[in-house]
Structure 1
């Protein structure tokens, strides 16, 4: 993951997964209504092909296995590369494999509803282990790179708390939305780190990226700033990027909520409207009976 591609590819996958959950959570909430809404840790892919129902879980499982192989196997030599930082990255994806595999098995045996609490714990463990391994990473992230990783830890911490809240409070829309938004935020921040720390033209003014040869054809990079003023400016720019990316995600989430709130009528209001209609239909009948009784 210490390369440009190693940040862009997982970041894009997390962003798409988070957006998928955000939109589906909002749709589910407005269709079912507050009283019938229940948090889901995965959403089926509705299509004419029934085999694609578990596409999300299959995607998470296959992508995580592929990511683990990319970390522990040195391509194109096809030799095991058991470097410490690679094992740490692979371990992060290992917990995703555990979550996806368990959830898929529970779904196939039709026991997901009973085991939903266990699934929630596994989701929380994914982010807990990610935060743990990021905080105690063997690679010494210092300077500007360290600041970007420290901001990443804030996002992962939000994911941990949201996952625990979603597990304990299964009908909470805020918990579900924060969890989905934090996943989108993680993905966007990964991609932002890829550009800002590995593409020379995006490196902040006064800072330089130094490339060293990694395993295979990969190039590892490290950003150093020439002066303390340049380092301070680069960190401030990272803080602004953090805020701007979050603002963009919140704008998207808010617009999506407004869009579906206008189109979907909550189930409770729909039932009340039907009851009022049925009562209105009974009034003329009652009046006719009254006239017949007193001509």
Structure 2
């Protein structure tokens, strides 16, 4: 929906997803280093399933909000009376949410008995990003120079994330690619909020002057400020993950040790009699 609420909703979706990834991927990387025998794989699968479910439901909520907002199209695409399309901006946003919903469904099905091909989840993320990028690229801004400029800056993060996700299809579990994608999603989320304040200020205030070159120059600078803050957030989350892993490593080792000792005792009990019986029978003879 072309409003501050619509931009805030989109921004919240991308911001939460990027922040979650900035925590999930460092934890996933550290767990794999601490557990060379992949004992943490079950936790990683649970995180992926929860993420896919949340992504699907959030996308569904975005679709319903875009369609059934009081000013929305209410599933009407073309008005026969006026011979015009109905609220195409809402339909564009709904299409964007639809493909992110597909991505969430594939995330969940990846760990189902269906056994989807490896890399399909990353491919769906790339398709969703490409869909979003082309929708905004070919949108008619009706001569609003500032609106076109601010969305063109957004496309840097969108197409950059799409390229990163495509590389992950072939280079699976690459921590640098995963973190780079997370940073671009954080950038997308914060920039959608910026778009809301620029084009649809809350409280009914008028939007920024569309013809001002100063506004365009400042927003270009502001875009990279947003990315700088996003990178700082990534550093803080990565450092916090590393600190937690170091403090919890002793407990993890203790748990693994107890499990190994229990397994050894069970193995000893099951193999004791078959080993001793031949020796006893030999002595009796």
Q: TM-score, normalised by structure 2?
A: 0.72
Question: Residue 209 of structure 2: which of 220, 224, 233 is its match?
Answer: 224
**Is the helix fraction higher in 1 or 2?**
2
Residue 51 of structure 2: aligned partner = 56
Deviation of 1:25 after TM superposition, in Å, equals: 0.3
Matched, 1:233 2:235: no
**CA distance, structure 2, for counterparts of residue 74 and residue 200 of structure 1:** 17
**Tell me, what secondary structure is at the counterpart of 1:109?**
coil
Residue 158 of structure 1: aligned partner = 160
Matched, 1:4 2:8: no
**CA distance, structure 2, for counterparts of residue 224 and residue 263 of structure 1:** 47
Distance 1:145 1:261, change over 3 A: same
5+ unaligned residues in a row in structure 1: which ranges? Answer: 47-52, 210-222, 272-295
Contact 1:43 1:56 in 2 (8 A): no
Contact 1:195 1:202 in 2 (8 A): no
**Is the strand fraction higher in 1 or 2?**
1
Q: TM-score, normalised by structure 1?
A: 0.69
**Tell me, what secondary structure is at the counterpart of 1:32?**
helix
**CA distance, structure 1, for counterparts of residue 34 and residue 99 of structure 2:** 32
Distance 1:32 1:88, change over 3 A: same
Distance 1:99 1:148, change over 3 A: same
Deviations 1:238-283 (A, max 9, x none): 1221111111111121233234335546x9xxx9xxxxxxxxxxxx
5+ unaligned residues in a row in structure 2: which ranges? Answer: 78-85, 254-285
**CA distance, structure 2, for counterparts of residue 31 and residue 262 of structure 1:** 13
**Tell me, what secondary structure is at the counterpart of 2:2?**
coil
**CA distance, structure 2, for counterparts of residue 30 and residue 156 of structure 1:** 28
**CA distance, structure 2, for counterparts of residue 151 and residue 261 of structure 1:** 33
Distance 1:186 1:35, change over 3 A: farther
Contact 1:96 1:126 in 2 (8 A): yes
**CA distance, structure 1, for counterparts of residue 95 and residue 144 of structure 2:** 22
Matched, 1:81 2:76: yes
Contact 1:141 1:149 in 2 (8 A): no
RMSD: 3.4
